[in-house]
Structure 1
Amino acid sequence: MSLWTLVKVCSIFYLVFPQKTACLWWAVGNPLVMDPNAICRKSRKLATKQQEICDKELEIVEHASSGAQLALKECKYQFQNRSWNCDTTTRPKAFGRTLQFDTRETAFVYAGTSAGVMFAITQACNTGELLQCSCDSSLKDVAVDGEWVWGGCSDNVVFGYRKSKDFMDARRKKRRKDFREMIRQHNNEAGRLAVRNYLRKECRCHGLSGSCTLKTCWRKMPFFRNIGDRLKKRFDGAIKVLGSNDGKTLVKEGLTIKDPEKEDLIYSEQSPNFCVVNKKVGSLGTRGRVCDPKSRGTGGCDLLCCGRKYKTRKVEVKENCQCRFLWCCKVVCKTCRYMKTVHRCE
């Protein structure tokens, strides 16, 4: 899987450019298997707080790595039609180079990963996979009105938030909180808030014959796709910041934009031109990308090809079809072939 290659590449950046690299904490993992032992064997590269988690709560690292993978998957979905598409497959090294700069794209990756770690750890609490936590029953038997009451077992976002913060916001030994560090921690927090501040309500009916005379309700995390959608909107409205004169705070650049709030994504460097190949900044360009000539949006050929032409050709597609279930327990499908028109940027 390409993620493991990415992990190996980021590890190299972490070692060669420790003062500049923006590779995430899972960059110290094993390039072949993302398991907690593999990550923690590299503990000399981890921050003190991360080392403590490795020593005392190894299972937390396992779910944190799952959260990072979830975040990368969502990143690819959200940017599938953009010139930068969060690609970790074509040339993983380019992804690591992109993360060396404090751009909007880096902000999204950090926020998404922080949210993913919180999401995965919180889920593990609810399913009993972590012994040190469980679901949240603090709202039990709290009446709200005559139709429903808080009860059941809510998602333990307090625990998930705290562990995500401990791991994602940890700083390396002997490294002070500098300008880049403040930006990173702000975007990490924005990711966690995209989970914590948008809990949804789930209910179960009570009453004879399903009359639902009373409901018991509890709090659940938003679906991760909703979290990704929310962070994508913050990406589109991300705010450029500068360091204050005293070096202790972040201030907006320019007088015509609003001050960044806690849920906003922030950045300090303009994004490079991802339309063309640029190895220095990790841009793969858009040549060869599939586009839609009928769309006027980001996935349309006009925008995705950056004003260049595109080629159209027929390709054969194979997929399962006419599937049927055989008792018990097997699904049998035929392979269907058909020709599909594909448009690719030149």
Structure 2
Amino acid sequence: MFSNSRVSFQFVTILIYITVVCVSQVNSHWWSLATKTLLVGSSSVEQCDNELGFSHSQRQLCRTYANHMKYVKDGAENGIKECKYQFRLNRWNCSTAVNDITVFGKVLKIGSKETAFTYAVAAAGVVVSVAQACKNGLLQECGCSRAPRPQGISSSWNWGGCGDDTDYAYGFAKEFIDARERDTNPSNKSKHKARKEMNLRNNEAGRLVAVRSSEPTCKCHGVSGSCNVRTCWMKLSGFREIGNKLKSKYNSAIEVVAKKRGRRQLDFTPRKRSDVITPTSLVYLESSPDYCVKNRRTGVKGTKGRECNVDSNGPDGCGLMCCGRGYRVVHKQIVEKCNCRFQWCCTVICDQCPSNVKRYVCK
């Protein structure tokens, strides 16, 4: 009797363990690395096996390229920060879920245009972070860009310097980020296969937008800054500019319908005939949920309590942000620096001046 009970208990324990791990792997995401503290040294390799946000292939890549994980983490952090900035005035403000290994919560389960943006901006973040690490000599596997002289650069100028290594960064980001989708074995349901393809396409769009933001940058040489001689190289745009481009892609994101091509292949067809899918297009499968009201099932937090701009007609205006529910006025006292003056030498001294301000908060 005891023996059977013990076997049953062990079986249940193993079953629970498998269920927890499998569910965590399906629902987690690699960009949860942004919320964790990385270990240094040999223990950093061991950490690869403990990251629930990594798929099987990503754990293997992590062990091989353990020194890259800091820059994957930095890229994920920058992507999340940029997402929050770009959507700070929208009903969905790229809110993150505390202590959630999916970072953004249940809302990512919906194949919406917002989900498309998060995949793209995170992928772009890794490209930029790794490319700059290469340039700065922080990764032994790569270095300065080997990009040829682009058209438009005078042949009299020196082409060299040390550019951002976007070729290596793109290749690594593609291998690491897409590994999660490659490890996913969707059921025969075309919906699951379509979502996998959607993720891959938006990953690629983010990487390409980042890589294509590279522009020639030159440094002048010559007597008294005459710029008789220039040395030029390729440099990535600032991440804010990349974020702006991706937000523009979000605004023109294309809703698609998945159609089978053969037994395993899927093709995406724009729902609107006038839309044309390009390599940098963000694509989505489902309409966005109602971000107005809190919904535990979808993970939507709603806009109740959000601050709005009473003078704006845009998405941050109280009419749109509050979804017609109205708003309340909140009086706050803030303290700001004022009456600043220079004191020899060499400090600036300011007074602390209180003032009353109005804030408008959605009901």
TM-score, scaled to structure 2: 0.81
Q: Which residue of 167, 173, 186 maps to 2:201?
A: 186
Q: Which residue of 69, 72, 79 maps to 2:77?
A: 69
Counterpart residue identity of residue 55, structure 2:
A
Q: Is the 2:49–2:59 contact (alpha carbons within 8 Å) kept by the matching residues of 1? A: no
Q: Which residue of 217, 221, 225 maps to 1:202?
A: 217
Q: Which residue of 2 aligns with 1:40?
A: 48
Q: CA deviation at 1:291?
A: 0.8
- Relative distance call for 1:310 and 1:172 in structure 2 (3 A) is closer
Counterpart residue identity of residue 136, structure 2:
T
Counterpart residue identity of residue 54, structure 1:
C
Q: Is the 1:115–1:191 contact (alpha carbons within 8 Å) kept by the matching residues of 2? A: yes
1:338 matched to 2:352: no
1:164 matched to 2:173: yes
Equivalent-residue separation in structure 2 for 1:84 and 1:119 (angstroms): 25
How many equivalent pairs are there?
Answer: 331
Q: Is the 2:24–2:52 contact (alpha carbons within 8 Å) kept by the matching residues of 1? A: no
179-188 or 255-264: which moved more? 255-264
Q: Which residue of 10, 14, 23 maps to 1:16?
A: 23
1:230 matched to 2:235: no
Q: Which residue of 2 aligns with 1:155?
A: 164
- Tell me, what secondary structure is at the counterpart of 2:278? coil
- Tell me, what secondary structure is at the counterpart of 1:293? coil
Q: CA deviation at 1:49?
A: 3.5
Q: Is the 1:309–1:345 contact (alpha carbons within 8 Å) kept by the matching residues of 2? A: yes
Q: CA deviation at 1:313?
A: 2.2
- Relative distance call for 1:111 and 1:250 in structure 2 (3 A) is same
Q: Which residue of 129, 140, 149 maps to 2:138?
A: 129
Equivalent-residue separation in structure 2 for 1:234 and 1:143 (angstroms): 27
Q: Which residue of 303, 324, 330 maps to 1:286?
A: 303
Counterpart residue identity of residue 309, structure 1:
G
Q: Is the 1:152–1:218 contact (alpha carbons within 8 Å) kept by the matching residues of 2? A: yes
Q: Which residue of 2 aligns with 1:52?
A: 60
Q: Is the 1:71–1:116 contact (alpha carbons within 8 Å) kept by the matching residues of 2? A: yes
Equivalent-residue separation in structure 2 for 1:143 and 1:308 (angstroms): 55
- Tell me, what secondary structure is at the counterpart of 1:315? strand
Equivalent-residue separation in structure 2 for 1:55 and 1:267 (angstroms): 33
Q: CA deviation at 1:315?
A: 0.3
Counterpart residue identity of residue 122, structure 1:
A
Equivalent-residue separation in structure 1 for 2:65 and 2:203 (angstroms): 21
Equivalent-residue separation in structure 2 for 1:111 and 1:310 (angstroms): 34
1:25 matched to 2:30: yes
Q: Which residue of 2 aligns with 1:303?
A: 320
Extract unaligned runs of 5+ from structure 2.
1-18, 187-192
Larger radius of gyration: 2
Q: Is the 1:152–1:217 contact (alpha carbons within 8 Å) kept by the matching residues of 2? A: yes
CA deviation profile, 1:253-300 (whole Å, cap 9, x unmatched): 434332311100011111100011111111111111111111111111
Q: Which residue of 2 aligns with 1:8?
A: none
Q: Which residue of 1 aligns with 2:190?
A: none
- Tell me, what secondary structure is at the counterpart of 1:261? coil
Q: Which residue of 2 aligns with 1:274?
A: 291
Q: Which residue of 1 aligns with 2:335?
A: 318
Q: Is the 2:253–2:283 contact (alpha carbons within 8 Å) kept by the matching residues of 1? A: yes
CA deviation profile, 1:175-232 (whole Å, cap 9, x unmatched): 3473221111100000001111121221111222211123221110011011111111
Equivalent-residue separation in structure 2 for 1:14 and 1:78 (angstroms): 33
- Relative distance call for 1:341 and 1:166 in structure 2 (3 A) is same
Equivalent-residue separation in structure 2 for 1:173 and 1:277 (angstroms): 33
- Relative distance call for 1:94 and 1:198 in structure 2 (3 A) is closer
Equivalent-residue separation in structure 2 for 1:53 and 1:41 (angstroms): 11
Give the percent of matched residue pairs that are identical in Structure 1 and Structure 2: 33
Q: Which residue of 1 aligns with 2:14?
A: none
Q: Which residue of 2 aligns with 1:114?
A: 123
Q: CA deviation at 1:303?
A: 1.1
TM-score, scaled to structure 1: 0.84
Counterpart residue identity of residue 48, structure 2:
C
Q: CA deviation at 1:42?
A: 1.9
Counterpart residue identity of residue 356, structure 2:
M
- Tell me, what secondary structure is at the counterpart of 2:260? coil
170-179 or 286-295: which moved more? 170-179
Q: CA deviation at 1:136?
A: 1.6
- Tell me, what secondary structure is at the counterpart of 1:99? helix
Equivalent-residue separation in structure 2 for 1:185 and 1:158 (angstroms): 19
Q: CA deviation at 1:337?
A: 2.9
Q: Is the 1:142–1:149 contact (alpha carbons within 8 Å) kept by the matching residues of 2? A: no
- Relative distance call for 1:309 and 1:244 in structure 2 (3 A) is same
